[in-house]
Amino acid sequence: MTEHRDNAHPEPGYRLAAKGRYETEDERLDLLEQLFDPTSRQRRGLVQPGWRCLEVGAGRGSMAVWLAQQVGPTGQVVATDIDLRYLNRLNLPNLQVIHHNILEDPLDVLDPGSFDLVCSRLMLFWLAGKQEKALQRMVQCLRPGGWLVDEDGDWGTVIPVDSSHPHSAGYNKAWHDGGWWVSRGYDPEFGRKLPVLFERCGLKNIQHEARTEAVRGDTPWAKWWGESLEGIRASERIDGSLTPAREEEYKALITPLSDPTFWFLSALLHGCLGQRLE
Ligand SMILES: C[S@@+](CC[C@H](N)C(=O)[O-])C[C@H]1O[C@@H](n2cnc3c(N)ncnc32)[C@H](O)[C@@H]1O
């Protein structure tokens, strides 16, 4: 993989913040939920009625709502995020919404040691270099015997299937086999490291699996991916890191996504499960 970190770029962090683009991000997260929820429900399938669950970085909240339905009136779900714009729309008697940064805010507001299940989806990737800290804090929220579920991507694995397609050469040049992420300070193979991080955080009974599929341009997955890249581009325009060279790269990466003859691999999306025993 080519490493070509651009030192002009600011520290990595969450690049798809909703502030200033609430409507656009609402649509992107809605599509994310439609695409990912079926698999995420399976991965959270161990949830039982009466359980107390925590969804960290809950976004628009579809998984928190689903968990609230599963735990029923005798259970409780806490959904956290650093921006509650979308979660504040939810109104369920067994769902509590809390403004909370998993890296920085005190854990006592979440009642550490009390949760049967703690989950997070597509958040850790963005906390580059601080993922283990975030996971440690999630583990602290679990009761002994409780389970942690995290889902995250190898977002560097979005690559053309057919190298002879007219879009492929330009795409591959811009993508650098995922080095596009490295230049921004992110790990393009983050998702596959989840089991290792889980183990380092003391979790046992670790189970892991990952899925991908070949998809084509002009499909819901392609639309979602294009909207995600557009969101990152918008953040770079604001922080001044959107150079003309980067503009060219975005063009090479986004244009093929509306072409139905362009087949590519969706990102390898990992699901990892682990248990806190004591
Ligand atoms: C890609 S979105 C995914 C939303 C949701 N997990 C889902 O999959 O539908 C990532 C979410 O993590 C939140 N987030 C980012 N950094 C966070 C942090 N340090 N603590 C808590 N939430 C965070 C963002 O505000 C955003 O809602």
Alpha-carbon distance values, 273 to 43, 77, 192, 209 (Å): 8, 18, 13, 9
Report yes or no: 157 and 187 within 8 Å, Cβ to Cβ.
no
Which residue, judged by its Cα, is nearest atom 20 of ligand 1? Answer: 101
Q: What is the pTM of this model?
A: 0.95
Q: Pick the range with the lowest mean pLDDT from 9-18, 112-121, 189-198, 266-275.
A: 9-18
Q: What does the pLDDT look like over 93-130, one tens digit per residue?
A: 999 999 999 999 999 999 999 999 999 999 999 999 99
Q: Whose CA is nearest to atom 1 of ligand 1?
A: 122
How far is residue 236's CA from residue 184's CA, in Å, rounded to a whole number?
10
- How remote is the CA of residue 278 from the centroid of ligand 1, in Å? 28
pLDDT band, very low/low/confident/very high, at 11 (cuts 50, 70, 90)? confident
CA proximity to 80, closest of 43, 46, 54: 54
Compute the C-alpha angle 232/263/32, nearest 5°.
Answer: 40
pLDDT at res. 9: 55
Average pLDDT, the chain: 95
Spell out the residues 6+ positions from residue 209 whose beta carbon is closer than 8 angstroms to its own.
270, 271
Res. 7: pLDDT tops 50: no
In this prediction, residue 244 carries a pLDDT of 97
102 lines ligand 1 (CB under 6 A): yes
Q: What local confidence, expressed as pLDDT, does residue 113 receive?
A: 98
pLDDT for the residue 278: 86
Query: Using CA atoms, how far apart are residues 135 and 150, in angstroms rounded to an integer?
Result: 9
Confidence check: pLDDT of 5 > 90? no
Across 256-267, average pLDDT: 98
Give the closest residue (by CA) to ligand 1 atom 27: 59
Q: Would you state the pLDDT for residue 2?
A: 40
Mean pLDDT of 134-156: 98
Q: Is the pLDDT of residue 6 over 90?
A: no
User: What's the CATH code, domain 22-275?
Assistant: 3.40.50.150
Say if residues 191 and 125 touch (Cβ distance below 8 Å). yes
* CA angle at 202 for the pair 200 and 205, rounded to the nearest 5°: 105
Residue 67, pLDDT score = 98
In short, whether 37's Cβ falls inside 6 Å of ligand 1 is no
Which residue from 26, 82, 100 has its CB within 8 A of the most atoms of ligand 1, so it is best to mutate? Answer: 82
